[in-house]
Amino acid sequence: MKFATTCIHVGQDPDPTTGATIPPVHFTTTYTLDAPGESKGFVYSRSANPTRVALEKCIAALEGGAAASSFSSGCAATMAVLSTLRPGDSVVAYADLYGGTYRIFENISRPNGVDTRYAKGTSPADFESLIDASTKLIWLETPTNPLLRLIDIDAVTQLAKSRGIAVAVDNTFATPALQQPLSLGADYVVHSTTKYIGGHSDVIGGAVIVKDAKLIDPILFYLKSAGGCPGPMDCYMTHRGIKTLPIRMREHCANASAIARHLVGKRGIASVIYPMLEEHPDHQLAKKQMCGGGGIVSVLLEGGFESTSRFCRSTKLFSLAESLGGVESLINHPARMTHASIPKDVRDAQGITDNLVRLSVGIEDVDDLKEDIDQALASI
């Protein structure tokens, strides 16, 4: 099956007992057994639920993985992968990360004896220089958030493989519609399905997808033991969102690309960051690794916090809100919102400055979006 067909059909077989074309949502915590120890594959919904299993099958197929496990949030999915590490192990990551992932590395993993080292740049050599015998995991987010740098997944997984290090890629920004890390050699893909996968800003969720079937056992063990399982309604809504993922991503990419080009050179704009702009530092890699630039555009405004804040308050269609990846456009001020938990000196060193704005470009009519941004720029 091709990608768009997988989105609509995997895990969506008609219900065998009623013929219902859309499978029912299984609102049940427990399952009646045939005899002690004899189940139909389901015993208790923390461990497994049919609606969740259907979603997991679909997400695994989308990423070309052997299996997947879904979670109640992207952060819970991240925790599941990190649960495979032991005190004394270390992680290598690039510092421009989702703020909540940085918070887990620094405030949960580190006190538990797992050290995370941050690469100074995005090149494979920057990662390689931090690897030693304790390194058990390389964590990649590409495109990075919010500065949209790209990391060469193929090159990094090659250097990890030769040393027996696992590679996890947070594929939330690109989605499997634009980039499939497992096919480039990664071992784990992590998603915040809250974003593009669900796509409608109405359900929090996460997923871990593995390339090799035996990697799923520790992830499922963690889910069963620690909890963090999504409810059936959440799984149903996420699965419903997936059906339109390819067409949504096409529109997100088209609109974001148009907005990026519209803003380049505009009065009040210092620079525009979008992987498919020729002037983007990783443009060649973007063309090789991704089949679309995604729906996020980051912009540096001229001026400081005051005028940037005014801009953020002046858009009408772009709502000033955390999160991204929904059909509606959002605007975010990373330094004061999504990345506020990163200390200011660390943030500034990374380039997450007070004049940086991140746009999650939705799938509204692009002319309305351009007009909205133009009137907000005029206000400053």
Ligand X SMILES: *Cc1c(COP(=O)(O)O)cnc(C)c1O
Q: Which residues are catalytic?
A: 46, 98, 170, 195
- Is residue 317 a contact partner of residue 369, using CB atoms and an 8 Å limit? yes
DSSP 45-82: TTT--HHHHHHHHHHHHHHT-SEEEEESSHHHHHHHHH
List of residues contacting ligand X (CB under 6 A): 73-75, 98, 100-101, 141, 145, 170, 172-173, 192, 194-195, 204, 206
Nearer CB in complex with ligand X: 101/314: 101
Which residue matches tokens 């020729």? Answer: 278
Instruction: Give the nearer residue to ligand X in terms of CB position, either 171 or 309.
Output: 171
- In what order do the strands lie in the sheet containing 67-71? 67-71, 206-210, 188-192, 166-170, 135-141, 90-94, 115-119
Q: Least distance to ligand X from the beta carbon of 238, Å?
A: 11
- Residue 11 CA to residue 29 CA, distance in Å, equals 20
Comparison of 80 and 301: residue with beta carbon closer to ligand X: 80
CB of 266 to ligand X, least distance (A): 27
Cβ 332 to ligand X, closest distance in Å? 11
Chain-centroid distance, C-alpha 205? 11
Q: Would you say 197 or 210 has its CB closer to ligand X?
A: 197
Q: Cα(205)–Cα(70) distance, rounded to whole angstroms?
A: 7
For ligand X, which is the closer residue by CB, 195 or 248? 195
Structure tokens at 289: 């690794």
Sheet of 269-273: strand order equals 269-273, 296-301, 356-360, 330-332, 319-320
**Measured from the CB atom, is 246 or 295 closer to ligand X?**
295
Q: Residue of minimal CB distance from ligand X?
A: 74
Residues 6+ apart with CB under 8 A from 50: 23, 26, 42
- The Cα 110–Cα 166 span in angstroms is 19
Are residues 208 and 77 in contact, defined by beta-carbon separation less than 8 angstroms?
yes
**Prior bond to 232 cis, omega within 30?**
no
Minimum CB–partner distance for residue 227 and ligand X (Å): 14
Q: Taking the chain, what is the end-to-end CA distance rounded to the nearest angstrom?
A: 50
* CB of 339 vs ligand X, minimal distance in Å: 11
- Per the CB < 8 A criterion, the answer to whether 299 and 363 are in contact is no
- Closest distance of CB 102 from ligand X, Å: 10
Q: How far is the CB of 111 from ligand X (least distance, A)?
A: 20
Residue 84 or 129 with smaller CB distance to ligand X: 84
- Residue 61 contacts by C-beta under 8 Å, 6 or more apart in sequence? 1, 6, 10
3-state secondary structure string, 111-172?
HHCCEEEEECCCCHHHHHCCCCCCEEEEEEECCCCCCCCCCCHHHHHHHHHCCCCEEEEECC
DSSP state of 187: S
